[in-house]
Amino acid sequence: DQQVKQNSPSLSVQEGRISILNCDYTNSMFDYFLWYKKYPAEGPTFLISISSIKDKNEDGRFTVFLNKSAKHLSLHIVPSQPGDSAVYFCAASGVFSSGSARQLTFGSGTQLTVLP
């Protein structure tokens, strides 16, 4: 059972436009959310994160929005650039029981292609 879902395996966007990547989660115990970007032949790199006490976090061209009631988060990239073409993974973490360790649960990824 996938607790973190990225339902769009791929997304194509024109350069300069906005890219919106979506992620849904099922476990309400998740309290911290992250986005990672992965280029071919490289490991994922951390992009941006958000705590469950916030509903928005912005870093340059990247903004993450969190809707806790809908258990949904999204990553907005504005403006999109060809160098943004990569696989984007959504991840969530939380503590599910007293004494248990935090761990990251990843979605299956969305391949973003920014067309010049």
Partner 1 sequence: KAGVTQTPRYLIKTRGQQVTLSCSPISGHRSVSWYQQTPGQGLQFLFEYFSETQRNKGNFPGRFSGRQFSNSRSEMNVSTLELGDSALYLCASSVRAGTDTQYFGPGTRLTVL
Residues lying near partner 1 in the complex (CB under 8 A):
2, 4, 6, 9, 32, 34, 36, 41-46, 49, 89, 91, 93, 101-109
Instruction: Name which of 79 and 113 has its Cβ closer to partner 1.
Output: 113
Least separation, in Å, of the C-beta of 63 and partner 1? 18
Least separation, in Å, of the C-beta of 31 and partner 1? 10
- List C-alpha distances in Å: 112 to 48, 61, 81: 16, 15, 11
What are the residues facing 56 on neighbouring strands?
65
Residue 66 tokens, joined: 């969190």
